[in-house]
């Protein structure tokens, strides 16, 4: 990593301006090539937001350098930086995989209120990766994240309530959280909510949410959704599976002809 740079008067003025920007504004600047040198200047001088932006961008090309920037930002106890450092440890981005270290980073960030860290820590606790399995605590972290509007955590809160993982089973509460996750735009929440609606006989509403789930899911998950719908007994849902399959073929053909 480069040594901290000395700034001239103009550079110092620009750094002061950068340090007053929020992360969204800095991200917009980082997208402009002519501004990247000033983002790096800010990062070298300890502006955590700039360090995070550079780290995220480097994940695409140099995971080791990205890890170094996240570690530098996390040294200031920044919650988002701690969460990203945890992600690096969990996934082996620029450092050997170490779920125990990931859990430590997530916990520090989660306790500071970082919603993604709360969700990520919940996963490790639910499965017992790097930490002893504790579904009671996993549910509590999912619930904290869900209360802050985290759509994926909402889906996991619902799943825990449905399965009785770390909490007493409650089908009505599970249904409510699946609906909230779906309304927030998470495809798994949409699929699970649609499945409940279909079981209740609300087929028209179920079709809408199944369509949204398939629209927002990745290719592999979309195929799984189509296969699941094709295997159902309701003719309307079987027809939806054929419709989704037809759309997928059209998309593949369009991509082929545009190549």
What does the alpha-carbon distance between residue 198 and residue 207 come to, in Å, rounded to a whole number? 8
Reported as a single tens digit per residue, the pLDDT across 24-73 is 776 676 565 545 677 777 788 788 888 998 999 899 999 999 999 999 99
What's the mean pLDDT in 131-135? Answer: 97
Of the listed ranges 22-31, 79-88, 182-191, the one predicted with least confidence:
22-31
Burial of 231 (0-12, 13-18, 19+ CB in 10 A): exposed
Match 């949410």 to its residue by tokens: 209
* The pLDDT of residue 9: 64
Local confidence band at 173 (pLDDT 50, 70, 90 cut-offs): very high
Q: What crossing angle do the helices spanning 171-183 and 187-199 adopt, rounded to 10°?
A: 130
Tokens coding 113: 């209120």
List Cβ neighbours of 225 (8 Å cut-off, separation of 6 or more). 191, 210, 213, 214, 217, 244
Which whole-number Å values give the CA distances from 245 to 191, 193, 210, 254, in the listed order? Answer: 17, 21, 13, 14
pLDDT tops 80 at residue 248: no
User: How far is the C-alpha of 52 from the C-alpha of 229, rounded, in Å?
Assistant: 42
Alpha carbon 73 to its chain centroid, in Å, reads 20
pLDDT at position 192: 98
Q: How confident is the model at residue 216 (pLDDT cuts 50, 70, 90)?
A: very high
- Tens of pLDDT along 141-168? 999 999 999 999 999 999 999 999 999 9
Phi first, then psi, for residue 168 (nearest 5°) are: -65, 135
Do residues 52 and 84 make contact, with C-beta atoms less than 8 angstroms apart? yes
Residues above pLDDT 70, as percent of the chain:
84
User: What integer is the mean pLDDT of 215-240?
Assistant: 95
CB atoms within 10 A of CB 132: 7
User: What are phi and psi for residue 258, nearest 5 degrees?
Assistant: -85, -10
Q: Taking the CA atoms of 179, 185, 23 and 60 in sequence, report the sign of the dihedral they define.
A: positive
pLDDT at 257: 43
pLDDT of residue 15 exceeding 80: no
With cut-offs at 50, 70 and 90, classify the pLDDT of residue 184: very high
In this predicted structure, what is the pLDDT of residue 30? 59
- Token pair 């398939």: residue: 214
As a whole number of angstroms, the distance between CA 74 and CA 70 comes to 6
Which of 20-34, 50-64, 111-125, 193-207 is least confident? 20-34
pLDDT at 87: 98
pLDDT reported for residue 252: 37
- What does pTM read for this prediction? 0.83
For the record, the structure tokens of 27 come out as 């991200």
Tell me the C-alpha distance between 76 and 79, whole Å: 9
H/E run at residue 225? helix 219-230
Where do runs of H (alpha helix) occur along 32-98?
Answer: 36-44, 48-58, 63-74, 79-91
Buried b (16+ CB within 10 A) or exposed e, 24-54: eebbebbeeeeeeebbbbbbbbebbbbbbbb
């Amino acid at each position: 990593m480069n040594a901290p740079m000395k700034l001239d008067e103009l550079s110092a003025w620009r750094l002061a301006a950068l340090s007053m920007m929020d992360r969204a504004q800095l991200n917009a600047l980082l997208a402009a090539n002519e501004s990247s040198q000033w983002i790096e200047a800010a990062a070298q001088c300890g502006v955590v937001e700039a360090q995070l932006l550079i780290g995220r961008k480097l994940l695409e090309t140099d995971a080791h350098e990205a890890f170094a920037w996240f570690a530098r930002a996390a040294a200031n106890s920044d919650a988002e930086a701690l969460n990203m450092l945890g992600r690096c440890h969990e996934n082996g981005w620029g450092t050997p995989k170490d779920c125990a270290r990931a859990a430590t980073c997530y916990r520090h960030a989660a306790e500071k209120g970082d919603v993604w860290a709360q969700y990520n820590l919940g996963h490790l606790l639910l499965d017992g990766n790097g930490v002893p399995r504790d579904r009671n605590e996993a549910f509590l972290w999912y619930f904290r994240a869900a209360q802050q509007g985290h759509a994926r955590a909402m889906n996991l809160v619902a799943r825990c309530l449905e399965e009785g993982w770390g909490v007493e089973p409650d089908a009505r509460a599970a249904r409510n959280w699946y609906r909230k996750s779906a309304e927030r735009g998470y495809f798994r929440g949409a699929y699970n909510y649609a499945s409940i609606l279909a079981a209740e006989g609300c087929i028209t509403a179920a079709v809408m949410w199944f369509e949204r789930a398939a629209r927002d899911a990745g290719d592999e998950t979309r195929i799984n959704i189509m296969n699941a719908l094709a295997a159902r007994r309701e003719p309307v849902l079987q027809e939806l599976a054929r419709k989704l399959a037809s759309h997928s073929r059209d998309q593949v053909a369009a991509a082929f002809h545009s190549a």
